[in-house]
């Protein structure tokens, strides 16, 4: 008879022990009265029911906490979207224009969404990256589909490839918005590519068809053109974004920095200018200035001096 291996002997010993334990358990169960079995079953059922109820309660609490945390992250993201809506729309439109087919490159837009999240320090825990991307894209698409005055004219395809055609398209869009707009053309334009007038407001515009962010120099040219032409508003219009220094200089000088799809904002600036002028005029007509108020007093003093002489 072949010898049995050590491993087989261990397995056989374990099986014999298991059978012995089962035998002892059966004998013990046989000695227990039915009444005890009923008590055991009832208690066991109660413990099981309590455990299942507690587990369900804990699961529901966790689900509610997760839902509340997700809702809080959604509100935070929506707040960031509302604050930076214009920038996102401009970047989306810029990527769409560079794509050439009216839709942004998927990988480039994904990088832009990630850059937005990093810039606003938004690090979601409960919202998946796919859901965040979908929410940002949906917000931009919703904003772009809203009817605005800037949708009066669609920029032709050649305008996004030729600087001169780009200037003509900007002037055409302003004319569609009720402005008397013309391009200056050629050199010696004193920093003015498009000049527009409407309701007594004069605007000078620098047009920049760039593949990268527009710098401070373009804003300086627009402001110089405004001073030269004695205009009321200076603006820089581009298919791209603007550098930080350009934004800083524009904020200091009151110049407008616009994406080419936002030319309707010039109407808003002109309206604010007219309202401010009307308010100053109304105040001047109701309250005399120090000079006008002191004039009668001075004339009275001069008359008294002449009489006394």
- Could you read off the pLDDT tens digit of each residue along the chain, which spans 309 residues? 445 566 666 777 777 777 777 777 767 666 767 776 677 677 877 888 888 888 888 888 888 888 888 889 999 999 998 888 877 877 777 666 555 566 667 888 888 899 899 989 999 998 899 999 999 988 888 876 654 444 444 677 778 888 899 999 999 989 988 999 999 876 556 779 999 999 889 999 999 988 888 999 999 999 999 999 999 999 999 988 788 898 889 989 999 999 888 888 898 888 888 888 888 888 877 755 554 444 443 344 334 333 433
| Helix residue spans in 242-288 (DSSP H) | 244-253, 265-286
- Domain boundary (111, 146, 181) is at 146
Question: Does some domain include residue 52?
Answer: no
Question: Does some domain include residue 77?
Answer: yes
Same domain as 156, residue 208:
yes
Same domain as 247, residue 194:
yes
Question: Does some domain include residue 7?
Answer: no
* Long-range contacts of 154-163, Cβ-Cβ distance < 8 Å, separation of 24 or more: 155/260, 155/261, 157/100, 160/97, 160/100, 160/209, 160/239, 162/209, 163/207, 163/209
Same domain as 261, residue 157:
yes
Question: Does some domain include residue 231?
Answer: yes
> In total, how many domains does the chain have?
2
- 226 within 8 A of 234, measured Cβ to Cβ: yes
Using CA atoms, how far apart are residues 8 and 246, in angstroms rounded to an integer?
A: 84
Could you give the angle at the alpha carbon of 216 between the alpha carbons of 212 and 220, nearest 5°? 130
Q: Which residue range forms the structural domain that includes residue 159?
A: 152-272
Q: pTM of the entire structure?
A: 0.53
């Amino acid at each position: 008879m072949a010898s049995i291996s050590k491993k087989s002997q261990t397995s056989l010993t374990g099986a014999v022990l298991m059978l012995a334990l089962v035998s002892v358990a059966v004998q013990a169960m046989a000695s227990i009265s039915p009444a005890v079995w009923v008590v055991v079953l009832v208690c066991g059922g109660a413990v099981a029911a309590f455990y299942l109820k507690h587990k369900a309660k804990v699961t529901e609490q966790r689900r509610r906490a997760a839902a509340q945390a997700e809702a809080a992250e959604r509100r935070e993201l929506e707040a960031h979207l509302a604050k930076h809506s214009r920038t996102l729309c401009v970047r989306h439109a810029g990527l769409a224009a560079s794509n050439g087919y009216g839709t942004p490159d998927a990988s480039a837009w994904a990088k832009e969404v990630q850059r937005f999240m990093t810039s606003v320090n938004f690090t979601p825990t409960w919202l998946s990256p796919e859901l965040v991307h979908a929410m940002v894209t949906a917000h931009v698409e919703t904003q772009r589909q809203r009817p605005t005055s800037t949708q009066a004219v669609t920029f032709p395809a050649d305008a996004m490839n030729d600087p001169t055609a780009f200037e003509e398209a900007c002037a055409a869009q302003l004319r569609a918005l009720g402005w008397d707009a013309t391009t200056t053309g050629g050199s010696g334009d004193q920093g003015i590519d498009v000049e527009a007038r409407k309701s007594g407001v004069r605007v000078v515009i620098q047009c920049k068809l760039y593949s990268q962010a527009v710098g401070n120099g373009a804003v300086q040219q627009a402001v110089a053109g405004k001073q030269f032409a004695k205009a009321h508003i200076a603006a820089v219009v581009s298919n791209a974004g603007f550098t930080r220094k350009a934004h800083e200089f524009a904020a200091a000088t009151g110049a407008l920095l616009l994406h080419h799809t936002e030319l309707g904002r010039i109407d808003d600036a002109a309206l604010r200018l007219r309202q401010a002028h009307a308010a100053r005029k109304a105040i001047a007509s109701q309250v005399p200035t120090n000079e006008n108020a002191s004039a009668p007093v001075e004339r009275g003093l001069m008359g008294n001096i002449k009489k006394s002489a």
